[in-house]
């Protein structure tokens, strides 16, 4: 079945550092790919998405490019802030009657 693998955390960075959180997937067909974020004490929010190969999703300074050749959707941000501290989840949704599949999440802590 479909699956998502993302790098395990926790990841600790200093403010203004460059962030990469790796995400790879296994799926048949052409799934849509997503990054969700969960800030401390809050619910899950959609951060960005890409629906086809070579699409780039972006939001709040975060970017991820749908790479079909490497089955990856790595999350990047050029300069992180303390307010970016959260848990980040990579997810995919295939067409048809299949559920949204999540990775295990990566906890990011940004220190001033």
Tokens of 12: 């600790």
Does the footprint of another protein cover residue 104 (CB under 8 A)?
Answer: yes
For residue 100, give the nearest of 109, 108, 92, 110 by alpha carbon.
92
3-state secondary structure of 84: helix
CB 54 within 8 A of CB 72: no
Options 51, 79, 81, 83; binder of another protein; rule CB under 8 A: 51
Contact 13, 80 (CB under 8 A): yes
Structure tokens at 105: 């999440």
Among 34, 62, 73, 88, the residue binding another protein under the rule CB under 8 A is 34
Interaction of residue 99 with another protein, rule CB under 8 A: yes
Interacting residue with another protein among 84, 88, 103, 110 (CB under 8 A): 103
Number of residues that bind another protein (CB under 8 A): 24
According to CB under 8 A, which one of 40, 69, 70, 97 is a site residue for another protein? 97
Contact positions vs another protein (CB under 8 A): 31-32, 34, 36, 43-46, 49, 51, 89, 93-105
């Amino acid at each position: 079945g479909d699956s998502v693998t993302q790098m395990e955390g926790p990841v600790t960075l200093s403010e203004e550092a460059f962030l990469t959180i790796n995400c790879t997937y296994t799926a048949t067909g052409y799934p849509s790919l997503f990054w969700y974020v969960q800030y401390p004490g809050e619910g899950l929010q959609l951060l960005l998405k890409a629906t086809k190969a070579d699409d780039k999703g972006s939001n709040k300074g975060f970017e991820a490019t749908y790479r079909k050749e490497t089955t990856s959707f790595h999350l990047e941000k050029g300069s992180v802030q303390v307010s970016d501290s959260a848990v980040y989840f990579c997810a995919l949704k295939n067409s048809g009657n299949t559920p949204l599949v999540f990775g295990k999440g990566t906890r990011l802590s940004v220190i001033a």
